[in-house]
Amino acid sequence: MPLNMDDFTRHLEAIGRCTEVVPLRQATMAALALFGIACAYYIAPLTRDPRVGRVVTNWGLPWEWEMPYRERLHRSDPLPNLAVERLSPVVWPDTVDFSRLTRKQATYMEFAATFGLGRGVGVACFGPDGRSGYLGAILPEDAPPPSAGDLQRLQAVGQVSFQTYCRIVKLNEATPSLSNRELEVLHWMGRGKSNSVIAELLGISPSSVDVYVRRIFAKFDVTDRTSATLRAYAQGLLVSADYEQFVDRNRREEEAGKGDTGG
């Protein structure tokens, strides 16, 4: 179905009007939905050295991918740096020369593909004061290759979204630097899990979870779980469970629809 340009413009304007991070991500995903894209991940700040701390926001992708990505695999993801080098959208796997990837990068790409990240468009985004970010928009397996015009429009979505993000999260209100383990604990705090349950989920002791929770409180300058969770949502560190359920429901419906076509 051809893209309605008036509809596309309205979505871009909606992104630019956002004043909070979670509505911004929702508006960005609504714009991506015009291209049949239901899942994406965001990285900020984007640097050439992947060891530098990054905030990774996952919309609709499996936790089984996100957890190891936060922990270590972000260092092996070649797509953000490829997007920066080209200054144009990277369509993977179509425009990625796998022969030039390191062994770890090629292994990551294979791992990501098993969790639904086999095809996508990567966009490097740039904002004020040298700030930069990355949008990885996941294409459905059966979607046709995006046209040159659609790639330009996807780049516009990423750019407008990131500039709005920079306006919302000002330099003097920088997102607290959390370790990968602290981000994991924060994720389950946002799902209302107790410390003992979080310990079981992560395979660590309850006393260790207590330590991580206290560190999160200190970094957010709060004294309770509710305040920490609200701060995390405002900073874009947590994604609404309602949105995750919406994505899961749509994915199940799509899978059911594919099954019905065989009769």
Q: Which of 256 and 40 is assigned the larger pLDDT?
A: 40
pLDDT at position 67 is 84
Q: Kindly tell me if the per-residue pLDDT of 256 is higher than 70.
A: no
Q: Kindly tell me if the per-residue pLDDT of 175 is higher than 70.
A: no
The residue ranges of every structural domain in the chain are 5-173, 180-234
pLDDT in tens, 122-152: 999 988 767 788 999 999 988 888 999 999 9
pLDDT at position 105 is 95
What secondary structure, in 3-state letters, does the chain show?
CCCCHHHHHHHHHHHHHCCCHHHHHHHHHHHHHCCCCCEEEEEECCCCCCCCCCEEEEECCCHHHHHHHHHCHHHCCCHHHHHHHHCCCEEECCCCCHHHCCHHHHHHHHHHHCCCCCCEEEEEEECHHHCEEEEEEECCCCCCCCCHHHHHHHHHHHHHHHHHHHHHCCHHHCCCCCCHHHHHHHHHHHCCCCHHHHHHHHCCCHHHHHHHHHHHHHHHCCCCHHHHHHHHHHCCCCCCHHHHHHHHHHHHHHHHHHHHCCC
Q: Kindly tell me if the per-residue pLDDT of 49 is higher than 70.
A: no
Q: Answer yes or no: pTM beyond 0.85.
A: no
CATH architecture of 180-234: Orthogonal Bundle (1.10)
Q: Domain 5-173 sits in which CATH superfamily?
A: Transcription factor LuxR-like, autoinducer-binding domain (3.30.450.80)
Q: How far apart are CA 223 and CA 254, in angstroms?
A: 43
Q: Tell me what percent of the residues of the chain surpass a pLDDT of 70.
A: 81
Q: Which of 72 and 42 is assigned the larger pLDDT?
A: 42
Comparing 5-173 with 180-234, is the CATH topology the same? no
Q: Which of 252 and 29 is assigned the larger pLDDT?
A: 29
pLDDT in tens, 212-248: 999 998 888 888 888 788 777 666 676 555 445 545 5
